[in-house]
Amino acid sequence: MQTRPFRIGVVNASSRLDPARGEAIRAWAAAAWPDGEVELVLHPALFEVHGHFGGDDPTRARAFVEYANDPHLDAIWFARGGYGACRIAEAVVPELNAHARAKRYLGYSDVGSLLAVLYKAGFPHLAHGPLAAEGSRHDATGRRAVNWLRTGDPASLEPSLLTDPRPAVAFNLSILNELVGTALEPDLSGHVLMLEEVSEAHYRLDRMMFHLTGQASIRRVAGIRLGRVSDVTPNDPEFGLTPEEIVRHWCVRSGIPYLGAADIGHDPDNKVVPFGPRG
């Protein structure tokens, strides 16, 4: 007797998802799991438009809450990043029920704002990792993401997590830099903090690290790992330091241990980093 499929709700907290990309996500899932073992359920509001955003704030908030609270969905996968999650993050938390708390949630980039406030609220199954739109472009990336959503598959994880028992989190640097000091910021004391970045000049990376590592709350982390810094915009003149040298500099200045590289980034090799303790 065939068991029911593992049903993953695909939602959007930020910028609009192009309808063609939505069709690509559906086609990829159908080809990847032709036996129906996995079903991606795309919320209709994914394709809403409101200026920059994928629907206005109430629309995006309602769609997220609807799917998070739905007992017939097993997990939540965010469709894409962009900008807008911070505008709905505080509003959705009081609306979430026990079904929402039991689900796994996966995404990164702008989604970090929502993951942060959910982590602050004690949600136990959150992770920085590939988005649904990326899965449809890169089969291995999508399967890695779905495997974590289904089972917490250790093979999907950022490799250092397999040997370091300390709690961990991962964020896009720009997103975390904007969250500190706000109502969305979770307590990261004792956590290994992994950071990645895309489409920023080196001077901006340096300035963000100055601000981030200057925060008392961030100085309580166990250490920082640096993921990939990609698509770097030009510096004129050249900044003179690599991303790793920039991060090392501010770790030394702030007394935060620098722990080395992390296998995360805005690319198909992005690995999954569950928030919180291992196990």
110-150 pLDDT, tens digit each:
999 999 999 999 999 999 999 999 999 999 999 999 999 99
Residue with tokens 């609220």: 121
Q: Which CATH number is correct for 159-274, 3.40.50.620, 3.50.30.60, 3.40.1440.60, 3.40.630.30? A: 3.50.30.60
Q: What is the pLDDT of residue 69?
A: 98
> What is the C-alpha R_g of the chain?
18
Three-state DSSP at 222 gives: coil
Q: Which two tokens stand for residue 206?
A: 């340096």
Give the separation between CA 134 and CA 24, rounded to whole angstroms: 10
Q: Of the candidates 276, 25, 14, 273, which has an alpha carbon nearest to the alpha carbon of residue 129?
A: 273
Q: Which two tokens stand for residue 130?
A: 């590939």
Asked if the model's pLDDT at residue 202 lies above 60, the reply is: yes
CATH superfamily of 6-156: Murein tetrapeptidase LD-carboxypeptidase, N-terminal domain (3.40.50.10740)
Residue ranges, CATH 3.40.50.10740, the chain: 6-156
Residue ranges, CATH 3.50.30.60, the chain: 159-274
Confidence grade of residue 1 (pLDDT, cut at 50, 70, 90): very low
Cis upstream peptide for 237 (omega within 30°): yes
Q: pTM score > 0.85 for this model?
A: yes
Query: Is residue 39 a contact partner of residue 5, using CB atoms and an 8 Å limit?
Result: yes
